[in-house]
C-alpha cells in the first residue's frame, strides 16, 4: 500500500518536469516555506524545557553542538551565493 502523499509527490514531480508548474513556482515556494515554518514552530511549541533540563547537561551540550554545526554548514554552503 502506497501512502497518498507519495502519489501526490510523484504527480507534482511529473508536472514540474513537464514545465507546467513554472508559472506557479513563486506561490509554491512561498507555500513550502510557510509549511516548513509551521512545522518548526509546532515542534518548538511541543518542547518542554524542564524535561530537557532534567535530561542532563550532556544532552544540552549535544543539542548546542548540533545547532552550531548545522549553522556553520549552512553558512559555508551559502557563502558563495552571497557574493
Q: Name the residue among 41, 22, 29, 51 with its Cα closest to residue 60.
A: 51
Element (H, E) at 6: helix 4-17
Query: If you average pLDDT over each of 51-55, 56-60, 68-72, which comes out highest?
Result: 68-72
- Let me know: does 49 contact 58? Beta carbons within 8 Å: no
Task: Output the nine-digit C-alpha cell for 21.
Answer: 508548474
Residue 49 has pLDDT above 90, yes or no: no
Q: Is the whole-model pTM more than 0.75? A: no
Could you give the 3-state DSSP secondary structure of residue 18? coil
Amino acid at each position: 500500500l502506497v501512502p497518498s502523499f507519495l502519489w501526490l509527490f510523484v504527480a507534482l514531480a511529473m508536472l514540474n518536469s513537464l514545465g507546467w508548474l513554472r508559472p506557479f513556482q513563486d506561490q509554491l515556494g512561498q507555500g513550502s516555506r510557510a509549511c516548513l515554518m509551521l512545522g518548526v514552530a509546532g515542534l518548538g511549541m511541543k518542547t518542554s524545557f524542564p524535561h530537557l533540563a532534567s535530561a542532563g547537561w550532556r544532552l544540552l551540550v549535544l543539542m548546542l553542538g548540533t545547532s552550531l554545526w548545522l549553522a556553520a554548514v549552512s553558512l559555508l554552503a551559502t557563502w558563495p551565493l552571497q557574493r
